[in-house]
Structure 1
Amino acid sequence: MKLTRRDVMQGAVMLGSMWAMGCATTGAGGEAAPEGQGAKATRASQPLSILILGGTKFLGPALVESARARGHTVTLFNRGKTNPGLFPDVEKLQGDRDPTKAEGLKALEGRKWDAVVDTSGYVPRIVKASAELLAPNVGHYAFVSTISVYKDLSRPGVNESSPVATVDDPATEDVGKHYGALKALCEQAAEAAMPGRVLNVRPGLIVGPDDPTDRFTYWPVRVARGGDVLAPGDGQDAVQFIDARDLAAFIIHGVEKRLAGIYNATGPARPLTIREFLETTKAALGSDARFVWADTEFLSKQKVEPWSDMPVWIPSTNEEGGLGQTSIAKALAAGITFRPTADTVRDTVAWFKTEPAEHQAKLRAGLSPEREKEVLAAFAQQGGKGPSVAG
């Protein structure tokens, strides 16, 4: 199967990212969970005051919880529109990231913090405004970027020195069309405002409880339901993702250590295939699921798309095929850690069961049960001649 339009892929990633961020046992696909990640967090030796730009959706709450567990004081700055009732005991400042709208950044003027974490920057002009305003009054700026900044994701092993995407008109603010390139320019805007004091974290797919995109949730929920499960390819394609709580812990760790520079932040620590991920999910949930591995050519003919219809997965032969094999050596050396994939799977299912009935009835990513049955029937009709019928 082939994704012929990088911008379509980038658009899907962009939407998921914007939704997601909102303005001691080792398991398969993971490693021992350190304190603060699946275990009771230890207090930081030096409590900090941390400003979070955003902070009320998915990664944001995980950052608040991670920071407070370490003993830090948190202030949130946002428009007050998303989950305004969260964290009633946390200071909230209201405004707009765009300085040309309403009161803009006025609530931040004259305030001092030890560090700022920017979860909601997508336009260079807007990141420039906040970074320049805060530069005299904060010591450290952590910017949440994306691995979609890279120019070429067709090959494995992309690292922090790999070329980034560019855009002909640097003044454009068309995030849907130029998501990766604009994120790269946002990184540069923050660094220009605070040279040597910026941590640029480039996460991959962010997953776990509270994920509003269902780009990972689809698989635990589908496997929990059991029966014949349509699975993509031959099972050997690499996949990467990071639990939002582990990403948050790494960002707070970076703030405490005043890490600067660029760090790819996805996981797990060792290579993981889509087959290993699904088998780990099955075991974690005690499911009777039977994986029906359908080859990419068949899926393409059925118009079953990687990433959207088959979340998490992108074929290694695809123009985005290196997305599941990004180098995280630098982050590992800096202290990033991951809870076992099985824990994320179980926690995701437990959270999903608390969601409103309408969400449980219709996931935002993946195939509907009806469509999956159609594709499975078509595969069986052609003899089920995939690389492996049963998982």
Structure 2
Amino acid sequence: MPLDRRRFLQLGAALAGAAVLAPARALGPTLAGPTGRPLKILVLGGTRYLGPAVVEAALSRGHAVTLFNRGMTAPDLFPGVTRLRGNRYPDRDGGMTALEGGRWDLTIDLCAYYPRLVEASTRLLADRTDRYLMVSSVSVFRDLKTEGPDETAAVLPLAETFEELPDLYENDWKTYGGRKAANEAIVQRVFGARATILRPCSICGGGNNDGSGAYWAARLQRGGRVLLPGDGSDPTQLIDVRDVADFAVLAGERKLAGIYNVAGPAERLSLRDYIAAAGRVVGSRAEVIWKGDFPRAMYGLPLAPPYAAVPGFATASNAKARAAGLRFRAIEETIRSNWLDHRVRRGDAFDFAAAGIGLSADQEAALLAGAEERTAAS
């Protein structure tokens, strides 16, 4: 059963005493446009995961926010914020006609998934917004077998065919990176120096849609023997959803042009380091066992892609974004917020495996037995 508010506060207080957390860093003074006034920000989407974090970051810095979406996801969020109803699809719910009379300093596009729709939105807003910021992904990189891709690395081509789904969600991962790359090109072609592209790595923190960000904390908290792939030295990347949101607003304030890899944390993070941090957050006494190899059954584990196959996915360069002002919360703070949020939303009995996340108890037991047999034979 999900936690009620009282239990949530009690749990948060208990964890705060047990966890090793660095203090949250302040955002600093509000930065506005050259006129000294708050920015007028249009957010396309705004109610799923990264969206609420972006809205909260903008409001906390004194900006005026307008949300444009279908009004179907979390319609009660941000009751004091201006809302415009419509649809990225021109033939549904009036299309984007609600935007035709508006004027904004900054547009933040959080649901840029299909080139046809991004073409329509950029054309409509070309003379109605001073800057267009699109959230893309490190999945655009063509060559993930090369370590440390930066913003100049080659990107994937657009697939010849793909399905456009009405919910404007990631879906169809085989064509996802190519679609994002095509959308980036559209935004840059229409807006030129007024275009800003952010490429986040795996986003974690409170509000995670499917619970995957809380998987390792929950598994370690459950205790027993925990099997992990490799030897723990493989790097991994993740970034707090609030850090992405903060940088998106900062990029708008500072009129940052071009492409930025929004990847964290600040320094190289091994999977062993991440697991140790998660263990500290939940006070785990679990026995962590590193399997040594990386069997196919473990490819889908959160934050644990097979590094030997895709080193670029875990080492995207963040130097440009850091120089422009990207800052990071402590990894323990991200893990803690993700785990607490997961428990409030889904409860301790949540079945990760049934939701397609991680290993079932039987799968883990079988892999553990295989690892022990190999150790004994050697």
Aligned to 2:121: 130
- CA deviation string 1:172-204 (max 9, x = no partner): 556623211111110111112211101100011
CA distance in structure 2 between the partners assigned to 1:102 and 1:279 by the alignment: 49
Residues 1:250 and 2:247 are matched in the alignment: yes
Aligned to 2:10: none
Aligned to 1:50: 41
> Number of matched residues?
347
Residues 1:360 and 2:350 are matched in the alignment: yes
Q: For 1:202-281, list aligned pairs within 5 A.
A: 202-281=199-278
Moved more, 198-207 or 173-182: 173-182
Q: Is the 8 A contact 1:220 1:349 kept in 2?
A: yes
Aligned to 1:83: 74
Aligned to 1:304: 297
The alpha carbon displacement at 1:210 in A equals: 1.1
Matching residue's letter, 1:345: I
Aligned to 2:316: 326
Cα distance change of structure 1 residues 342 and 228 upon mapping to structure 2, 3 Å threshold: same
The alpha carbon displacement at 1:285 in A equals: 2.2
Residues 1:146 and 2:137 are matched in the alignment: yes
Q: Is the 8 A contact 1:32 1:338 kept in 2?
A: no
Q: Is the 8 A contact 2:159 2:178 kept in 1?
A: no
Q: Is the 8 A contact 1:31 1:338 kept in 2?
A: no
Aligned to 2:190: 193
Aligned to 1:287: 284
Q: Is the 8 A contact 2:43 2:65 kept in 1?
A: yes
The alpha carbon displacement at 1:315 in A equals: 2.6
Matching residue's letter, 2:128: N
Matched residue SS, 2:298? coil
Q: Is the 8 A contact 2:235 2:270 kept in 1?
A: yes
Cα distance change of structure 1 residues 231 and 261 upon mapping to structure 2, 3 Å threshold: same
The alpha carbon displacement at 1:265 in A equals: 0.5
Matching residue's letter, 1:356: R
- CA deviation string 1:329-374 (max 9, x = no partner): 1011111011000111111221122113497244631112332233
Aligned to 1:13: none
Root mean square deviation, CA, Å: 2.2
Cα distance change of structure 1 residues 385 and 285 upon mapping to structure 2, 3 Å threshold: farther
Matching residue's letter, 1:328: N
Matching residue's letter, 1:154: K
Aligned to 1:11: none
Identity %: 38
CA distance in structure 2 between the partners assigned to 1:254 and 1:240 by the alignment: 21
Moved more, 377-386 or 363-372: 377-386
Cα distance change of structure 1 residues 214 and 384 upon mapping to structure 2, 3 Å threshold: farther
Aligned to 1:351: 341
Q: Which runs of 4+ in 1 moved over 6 A?
A: none
Unaligned runs of 5+ in 1: 1-26, 387-391
The alpha carbon displacement at 1:86 in A equals: 1.1
Using the size of structure 2 for normalisation, the TM-score is 0.86
CA distance in structure 1 between the partners assigned to 2:351 and 2:143 by the alignment: 37
CA distance in structure 2 between the partners assigned to 1:65 and 1:199 by the alignment: 20
Residues 1:377 and 2:369 are matched in the alignment: yes
Task: Select the residue among 167, 176, 179 that pairs with 2:176.
Answer: 179
Aligned to 1:10: none
Cα distance change of structure 1 residues 32 and 157 upon mapping to structure 2, 3 Å threshold: farther
Unaligned runs of 5+ in 2: 1-18, 165-170
Aligned to 1:12: none
Matching residue's letter, 2:120: A
The alpha carbon displacement at 1:290 in A equals: 1.4
Q: For 1:151-170, list aligned pairs within 5 A.
A: 151-167=142-158, 169=160
The alpha carbon displacement at 1:227 in A equals: 2.0
Matched residue SS, 2:83? strand
Moved more, 266-275 or 367-376: 367-376
CA distance in structure 2 between the partners assigned to 1:56 and 1:385 by the alignment: 53
CA distance in structure 1 between the partners assigned to 2:325 and 2:143 by the alignment: 27
- CA deviation string 1:237-292 (max 9, x = no partner): 01001110110001010010011100000100100100011011112222102111
Cα distance change of structure 1 residues 114 and 344 upon mapping to structure 2, 3 Å threshold: same
Q: For 1:4-15, list aligned pairs within 5 A.
A: none
Matched residue SS, 1:283? helix
Q: Is the 8 A contact 2:206 2:337 kept in 1?
A: yes
Aligned to 1:109: 100
Q: Is the 8 A contact 1:294 1:384 kept in 2?
A: no
Aligned to 2:167: none
Q: For 1:56-71, list aligned pairs within 5 A.
A: 56-71=47-62
Q: Is the 8 A contact 1:352 1:360 kept in 2?
A: no
